[in-house]
Structures are given as structure tokens and as C-alpha cells.
């Protein structure tokens, strides 16, 4: 069996994997990124890039390419109980006050190509079948060329696991989701729309079927600027009937009852809708081993407040790349031992607050009442947007920051859930 060797092997070429590959290649390391499919390939996603994600793409030097070819949005249009509020992304000293909507087939190829241009070896249609282990370390992977069926070994000193929410490679290393944490489920499809250049991404907080009955979860419509829109619906596992929900039915009803201004023909979906499960709030453990790290969805790095994952994929990938870079430069794997602590410092309390929020909104009656009250106040919803999008400011204490800190103080007192 043929063997190739690198400093770092990255399993997965999505947002987290491609970003990790870029940062490590930029630092001068020999890094190989394995992507199971060939680009361009589709992924189930809302396609929305929030200010946090744009900040990371800007840091990688990719915003000009995004801005030139993809649709920019100014904020969130919230719709509930007959009220519509257009909420601009807040001003922030670090993050921009706008976002983009980019199909994942385009975004992931763009970042992977950028990693390759920086010097990374990006192997498409190449699947990591199983890890190679020796003396407690992951020394690489047995990989299969999906085009030829040939297998070979790819060996490396360090491994970053970025193979998505199912993370078969992570599970093979002993990582598992804590089932007491919330999990999301979502489904989406693409439709034509006469207002695909709308400057707002839209979220409906009280979804109903065609008979007027309330449906669990929330619906979204994200305009792509090319004559099409991304239409989807998601819900959390904290909803009592979560396991019995028919997501295909949810999608059909939401497409049929979405606001008329979008001009959606529910019978004219451009491709069969696709869905998936979303591990949230850092629910996967362990996230690190002696010479390996989990990043992005593979680490459960999805925000329970709003289902965002792309920004946290880019952020955790950059953090992991920094630690692996330090390990390679110093000749010691010790920096990887700081990974979990760095994640806790950056996201631990925020994700804990979000987990408790997920429990609350899993009760439909309570959720309806909260949204009914919230939608009556633009100021309150602006605070909520700042908190849910994780755009709180550290340089000033505004109403949103004060509210979050008060809740966070209470959350600190609640014990962490026992793994289930």
C-alpha cells in the first residue's frame, strides 16, 4: 500500500477543514486536506453568513471574492404574530454590520481553492476510511480514492478532524455527543423568487400549516440574489415531540404558507429538499487527543440560539491551526492540551446560556408567548439579535450585554449535564 507523509492531515474539506488547511499552509506547513466528495458539491445549510463568518472570511482574504459574486444582506427580518421587524446587524468594533448569502457548493469550493493556493494539498473525492494508530497517537489515515477505488496510507504528525456533524472519524477516536445537550434538525430547499435580491434574511418565529395549526420550530428564507432563495425550517430536540416530527411535511407546509411577497410556488422546488441533524453547544467530547483535535460541526460547535455553524467552524479551525502551528514550531505536542480550555474560554459560558434557552423554547406555548411579547418591542428584539448572533460588545455595557450578563451569572450556578 502506497504511503504519503505530511506535517498535518485534515479530515474534511468543508468550512472548518478548508480553513484549517489555509491557516496551516499560510504558516508554512505541509498540510493535506481530504474531502470525501468532489467540488462543487452541495451541503444542507441555510447558506447565510453572519458578521462573525464574514470577519473570518475577511481575515483569510476572501471577502472581495464573496462581495463580487454573492448577495449581501443588512440584517434580519423577524416575522411573528402579524408583526414584521427589520433588524439591522449591530455596529461592532470587530465584526462588520452586514452578511452575505452564499450557496455552500460555491463557498466551500472557494475556501478549499484558497487553501490550495496557499500551499495545502487538497485531495478531492478522497475518503478517510479509518485512522492509523500507534502508541496512543493518530499517525494518519487509510484513505480511498472514490474515483479509482484505490486505497493508500496518508501519514502525518498531527490530525485535525473536520468531517462534519456525523464525524465517523471522530467517533473512531472515541469522540461522542453528550445526548443531554440539545440537537437541532433542519431541512431546506431552493425556490425561484421575484425578490431574491431582498436586502434582508428572514426568519418566521410562528410557523403554521395550511389549516392554521402551529408547527414546531422556526422557518427561514434567505435570498441568494440570483433569482433563487433558500427556504428551510428547523427545530430543536428540546421540543417534546421531536423524534416524531416529519420534516418533509414541515417543509411542505412552510413553503406553502411562507409570506406571499416571496412568490414561492411550493410545488416548484428546484431540487429535492435535504436535511440533517446538528450537534450543538460543544456537545461532542473529547475534542482533543495527544496529537489530534476536533473542529467545527465534528466538535458540536453549532450555536443553539440560531443554528449557526459556519462562523464557529472557521473560528475553531483557526484556533486549532494556531495550536498545531505552535506544536510544529516548538517540536512539542503540549500546545494541543490547551485546546479545550481555549474553547471553554471563548464559548463555554455562552453555549451554556444557549443550552438553557433551548430548553425554554422547546415548549411551544411558552415560545409563542415570548415571541408575542418580544415582537412588540423593536429595542428588545435588537437586544435579542445581538445576543443570539453572539455579537455582544466587550468595550461597552449596553442593554443586551447587561441582560446577557445577568442570565450568565445564573447559568454559572447550574451544574453541567451528566453525559447521556
Q: What is the 3-state secondary structure (H, E, C) of 3-16?
A: EEEEEEEEECCCHH
Whether 242 has a pLDDT exceeding 70, the answer reads yes
The answer to whether the CB of 386 falls within 8 A of the CB of 400 is: yes
- Residue 370 has a pLDDT of 84
In whole angstroms, give the CA distance from residue 76 to residue 258: 16
Report the b/e string of 139-149 with b at 16+ CB within 10 A: bbbebbeeeee
Q: What whole-number distance in Å separates Cα of residue 287 and Cα of residue 294?
A: 5
Q: What pLDDT is stored for residue 296 in this prediction?
A: 97
Percent of the chain with pLDDT over 90: 78
Copy the grid coordinates of residue 78: 423577524
Residue with cell 434574511: 201
Q: Where are the domains of the chain?
A: 3-71+102-178+280-349
Q: Is the pLDDT of residue 420 over 60?
A: no
CATH code that applies to domain 3-71+102-178+280-349: 3.50.50.60
Mean pLDDT of 294-319: 96
What pLDDT, in 10s, does the model give residues 138-154?
Answer: 999 999 999 999 999 99
pLDDT score recorded for residue 229: 98
pTM of the model: 0.95
Q: Which three cell numbers stand for residue 326?
A: 505552535
Q: How confident is the model at residue 1 (pLDDT cuts 50, 70, 90)?
A: low
Least confident of 95-99, 213-217, 234-238, 339-343: 213-217
Please answer whether residues 13 and 105 qualify as being in contact, where contact means their C-beta atoms are separated by less than 8 angstroms: no
> Confidence class of residue 247 from pLDDT cuts 50, 70 and 90?
confident
Tell whether the model's pLDDT for residue 225 goes beyond 70: yes
User: Does the pLDDT at position 310 exceed 90?
Assistant: yes
Amino acid at each position: 500500500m502506497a504511503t504519503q507523509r505530511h506535517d498535518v492531515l485534515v479530515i474534511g474539506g468543508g468550512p472548518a477543514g478548508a480553513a484549517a488547511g489555509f491557516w496551516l499552509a499560510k504558516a508554512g506547513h505541509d498540510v493535506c486536506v481530504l474531502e470525501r466528495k468532489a467540488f462543487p458539491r452541495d451541503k444542507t445549510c441555510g447558506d447565510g453568513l453572519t458578521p462573525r463568518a464574514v470577519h473570518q472570511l475577511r481575515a483569510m482574504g476572501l471577502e472581495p471574492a464573496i462581495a463580487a459574486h454573492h448577495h449581501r444582506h443588512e440584517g434580519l427580518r423577524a416575522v411573528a404574530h402579524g408583526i414584521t421587524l427589520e433588524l439591522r446587524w449591530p455596529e461592532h468594533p470587530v465584526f462588520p454590520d452586514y452578511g452575505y448569502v452564499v450557496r455552500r457548493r460555491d463557498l466551500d469550493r472557494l475556501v478549499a481553492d484558497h487553501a490550495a493556493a496557499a500551499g495545502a494539498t487538497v485531495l478531492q473525492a478522497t475518503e478517510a476510511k479509518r485512522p492509523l494508530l500507534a502508541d496512543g497517537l493518530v499517525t494518519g489515515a487509510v484513505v480511498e480514492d472514490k474515483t479509482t477505488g484505490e486505497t493508500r496510507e496518508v501519514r502525518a504528525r498531527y490530525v485535525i478532524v473536520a468531517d462534519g456533524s456525523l464525524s465517523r472519524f471522530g467517533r473512531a477516536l472515541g469522540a461522542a455527543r453528550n445526548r443531554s445537550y440539545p440537537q437541532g434538525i433542519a431541512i431546506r430547499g431552493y425556490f425561484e423568487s421575484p425578490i431574491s435580491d431582498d436586502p434582508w434574511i428572514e426568519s418566521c418565529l410562528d410557523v403554521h400549516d395550511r389549516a392554521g395549526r402551529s408547527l414546531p420550530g422556526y422557518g427561514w428564507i434567505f435570498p441568494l440574489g440570483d433569482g433563487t432563495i433558500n427556504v428551510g425550517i428547523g427545530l430543536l430536540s428540546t421540543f417534546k415531540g421531536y423524534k416524531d416530527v416529519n420534516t418533509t411535511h414541515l417543509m411542505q407546509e412552510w413553503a406553502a404558507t411562507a409570506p406571499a411577497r416571496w412568490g414561492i410556488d411550493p410545488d416548484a422546488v428546484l431540487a429535492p429538499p435535504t436535511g440533517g441533524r446538528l450537534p450543538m453547544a460543544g456537545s461532542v467530547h473529547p475534542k482533543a487527543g495527544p496529537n489530534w483535535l476536533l473542529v467545527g460541526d465534528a466538535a458540536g460547535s453549532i450555536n443553539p440560539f440560531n443554528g449557526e455553524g459556519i462562523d464557529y467552524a472557521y473560528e475553531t479551525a483557526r484556533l486549532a491551526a494556531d495550536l498545531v502551528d505552535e506544536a510544529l514550531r516548538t517540536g512539542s505536542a503540549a500546545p494541543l492540551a490547551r485546546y479545550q480550555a481555549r474553547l471553554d474560554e471563548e464559548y463555554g459560558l455562552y453555549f451554556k446560556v444557549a443550552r438553557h434557552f433551548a430548553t425554554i423554547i422547546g415548549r411551544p406555548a411558552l415560545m409563542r408567548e415570548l415571541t408575542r411579547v418580544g415582537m412588540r418591542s423593536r429595542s428588545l428584539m435588537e437586544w435579542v439579535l445581538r445576543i443570539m448572533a453572539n455579537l455582544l460588545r466587550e468595550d461597552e455595557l449596553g442593554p443586551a450585554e447587561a441582560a446577557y450578563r445577568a442570565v450568565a451569572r445564573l447559568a454559572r450556578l447550574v451544574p453541567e449535564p451528566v453525559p447521556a
